[in-house]
Copies of this chain bind each other. A is one copy, B any other.
Amino acid sequence: MTVDLTFDDGLIPAIAHDAESGQVLMFAYASPEAIERTEETGLAHYYSRSREELWQKGATSGHVQHVEAIRVDCDGDALVYEVEQEGGACHTGYESCFYRTVETVERTDASVAVSTTETGEQLFDPEEVYE
C-alpha cells in the first residue's frame, strides 16, 4: 500500500521507540530529507526546529539510533522509528527523554505546571559527553 505522508509546515512528528525494551525514547520531527537519509543510512535523522537543520541523532554524542523499521500511522501524518539505541537517547544522560512522571497537574487557563518525580534511568554524565 502506498501512503503519501502529510507534512505540517514541512515536518512530520517522529517518535523514537526502543525496539527491544519497548520504551518511548524521544519525540522529534522529521523533514522529507530526514526520512530519506534515515532510510538510506539506517541511522535516525530528524529536523531540528531550534537549529533549523537536518540532524543525525548521535552525530555529536555518538549515541546513534540504528533504525530497524519505520512505521506510519493510519492518517500518514506521524512516524515511529523502531530503533536500537546506542548510549542514552536523552541529552540529559537519561535512557529516555521521558524520564519524569507527573505527580500533580496545575492548570491556569492556557498554561500547565506539573510536579514530577524522576522515574527514568540515567546512563551517562552529559558533561562528559557534550563538551
What 1/0 flags go to A18-36 for Cβ under 8 Å of B? 0001111011000011011
Whether A36 contacts B105 by the Cβ 8 Å rule is yes
Q: Does A74 contact B (CB under 8 A)?
A: yes
What 1/0 flags go to A80-119 for Cβ under 8 Å of B? 1000000000111010011111101101011111111111
Whether B70 contacts A102 by the Cβ 8 Å rule is yes
Whether A32 contacts B109 by the Cβ 8 Å rule is yes
* A contacts, CB < 8 Å to B: 1-5, 7, 10, 13, 15, 17, 21-24, 26-27, 32-33, 35-36, 39, 69-75, 78, 80, 90-92, 94, 97-102, 104-105, 107, 109-119
